[in-house]
Amino acid sequence: MSIATVNPANGETLKTYEAMDEEEIERRLQLAEATFRTYRTTSFAERARLLNRAADLLDEDRQEIARVMTTEMGKPVKQARAEAAKCAKAMRWYAERAEGLLADEEPAEADVKDSGASRALVRYRPLGPVLAVMPWNFPLWQVVRFAAPALMAGNVGLLKHASNVPQTALYLEDLFHRAGFTEGCFQTLLIGSGAVDDILRDERVRAATLTGSEPAGRAVASTAGEMIKKTVLELGGSDPFVVMPSADVDRAAEVAVTARVQNNGQSCIAAKRFIVHTDVYDAFAERFTAGMKALKVGDPMREETEVGPLSSERGRADLEELVEDARRSGARVLCGGERPERPGWYYPPTVLAGVTREMRIHREEAFGPVATLYRADDLDEAVLIANDSPFGLSSNVWTRDEGEVDRFVRDLEAGGVYVNGMTASHPALPFGGVKRSGYGRELSGHGIREFCNITTVWHGA
């Protein structure tokens, strides 16, 4: 795979980069290891000062880096600016809270005495260089939500970013350097996916985190397992969006449109399967389809654009194959479903009804602005449909019935349940999934502790 910026709005190759050779990779691994030995001893106050400076610089760069992201992967520029702002917010959140999140923990006095100790505590210590294999769809946010907690914990980062967002990847390295972090604290590796295995096997790399496809996750997990290294995986998702009779159907339909097409529909946590109680199915389907039809599709650099192109020609072809398979098997296309005649890798907002278990789109993740509608006779059937997926990243539930909320929270197989709203990540809330959506958690205190050596300290009486 080439490392290049290819504008998905017109298919034009703007910049290409040579992959780093073995000598340069070795230099950077040596630098990461050497830097960790000293950076791990820095104070939380010093780390926070540097991370806050990075947040300030990112705010200053917001317009420029937003245009770079849009050029590289096609998200509407307004959403790209919001992504940059969210990253700065997360940096400040961890800068302010990391010391408290990683403070020493002392067991109950009775338990300490029972262990035969005069004192005992749990201390969180950094692991070392962490390899991050990151995707293109949120090219800043996916990296920052790893880097901010990792750096505040005293680790150093090695970024292998997606090969179609090299300018964003290089910007991130430069951002942390300009903020005052020493060179080895955060390094971008311009490499293809084929080089990941050797780097992960290197003893200087202590752990890895990956956000991406299921095959990529399997490969990293397999190597890390062989080498006995900690990993966190955030993989695909096909999140359910359940609407029950007591819900505000108008509001649910309005939010459902945003939940499906955010980031041009290329989001693991985008709602993809809309499971609607039969009593409100027709009303929801009408409003939701009308909302999808009304979206403004076009040049992602224009402020009014709501849906831009998909990130790649291959990505659009994969999405088309899922839609065509469903259509051949009897699904009804309520809107969209046809490639537009224009330059770039555009695909229209599409709604499919009558989807069955035999269709590929029922089991596979549709990474683009395509929604599937299901009818459920009652809560039990809604839960059954929602859980009939290999994925379990997040979920959305619309109901005013607290008893139903309790049932959904208890029974849905997902890493999150969002009630009367859409799934969104926030620094204070743990993020991750179950089943084939991966394991481990990012963000919150859970995320910063994932790459720590949780150390028992015991003092004799």
Q: What is the spatial distance between Cα 350 and Cα 444, in angstroms, rounded to a whole number?
A: 35
Q: Is 268 a catalytic residue?
A: yes
- Number of helices (H), then strands (E), belonging to the chain: the values are 16, 19
Give the helix/strand (H/E) hosting 149: helix 141-153
Residue position matching structure tokens 């505040």: 152
Side chain identity at 212, as an amino acid letter? G
Strand pairing report for 350-353 and 332-335: antiparallel
* Cα dist from 73 to 162, 194, 312, whole Å: 10, 22, 8
* Cα dist from 29 to 129, 182, 184, 235, whole Å: 8, 14, 9, 26
Exposed/middle/buried for residue 111 (C-beta within 10 Å: 0-12, 13-18, 19+): exposed
**Phi, psi at 306, each rounded to 5°:** -105, -25
408 Cα distance to chain centroid? 23
Kindly tell me the sign of the dihedral angle through the C-alpha atoms of 243, 239, 93, 451: positive
- For 185, the 3-state DSSP assignment is helix
321 Cα distance to chain centroid? 24
Q: CA dihedral in degrees (313, 318, 323, 327; nearest 10)?
A: 110
* Cα dist from 299 to 229, 296, 307, 318, 345, whole Å: 43, 10, 8, 22, 11
* Active-site hit among 185, 268, 335, 452: 268
Instruction: Take residue 223 and report the two structure tokens written for it.
Output: 């190597």
* Active-site hit among 234, 306, 442, 450: 234
Whether 369 and 265 have beta carbons less than 8 Å apart is answered as yes
Q: Is 234 a catalytic residue?
A: yes
268 Cα distance to chain centroid? 6
- For 450, the 3-state DSSP assignment is coil
- The residues annotated with a catalytic role in the active site are 234, 268
